[in-house]
């Protein structure tokens, strides 16, 4: 009997599911279609950042804690302008984006003020951008604003 109990405990340790981001889930704050030249520019959305999943599970260079489902999904039709995805918040937030090419992109302090997350796609692809806004502390849900904008090419 004692051996059976140890086997059961070992099986639980090995089979524990690992939480992961799921691009097939419906986004918590909806899906928006944007075509290059969209107005208003920036497109803004208020949301709450954070979750319980460590973004380092995606990539060791990612920071913060995010939810399993995307916060927002943008279906983007690109043109010649760069696409900029950024977050503003009184709290320390992070940004994770799954791009149309299947790549994962992360940032914590890429804005010009060095405190807000910002990702710039100089030659964005058309397609689906799944976006997560994270918080540095697990399960710390913070008020934030997601901004999607285009910038004039330099």
Domains of the chain: 19-150 (2.60.120.380)
Contact of 72 with 131, CB cutoff 8 Å: yes
Q: Give percent above pLDDT 90 in the chain.
A: 66
How confident is the model at residue 20, as a pLDDT?
A: 59
What is the chain's percent helix, strand, coil content, to nearest 5? 10, 40, 50
Mean pLDDT of 20-34: 88
How confident is the model at residue 129, as a pLDDT?
A: 98
């Amino acid at each position: 009997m004692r051996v059976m109990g140890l086997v059961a405990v070992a099986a639980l340790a090995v089979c524990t599911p690992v939480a992961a981001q799921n691009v097939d889930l419906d986004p918590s704050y909806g899906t928006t279609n944007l075509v290059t030249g969209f107005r208003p520019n920036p497109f803004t959305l208020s949301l709450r950042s954070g979750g319980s999943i460590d973004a380092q599970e995606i990539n060791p260079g990612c920071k913060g804690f995010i939810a399993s489902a995307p916060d927002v999904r943008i279906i983007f039709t690109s043109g010649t302008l760069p696409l900029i995805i950024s977050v503003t918040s009184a709290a320390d937030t992070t940004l994770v984006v799954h791009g149309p090419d299947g790549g994962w992109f992360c940032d914590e302090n890429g804005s010009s003020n060095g405190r807000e997350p910002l990702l710039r796609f100089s030659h964005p692809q058309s397609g689906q951008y799944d976006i997560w806004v994270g918080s540095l502390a697990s399960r710390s849900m913070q008020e934030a604003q997601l901004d999607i904008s285009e910038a004039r090419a330099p």
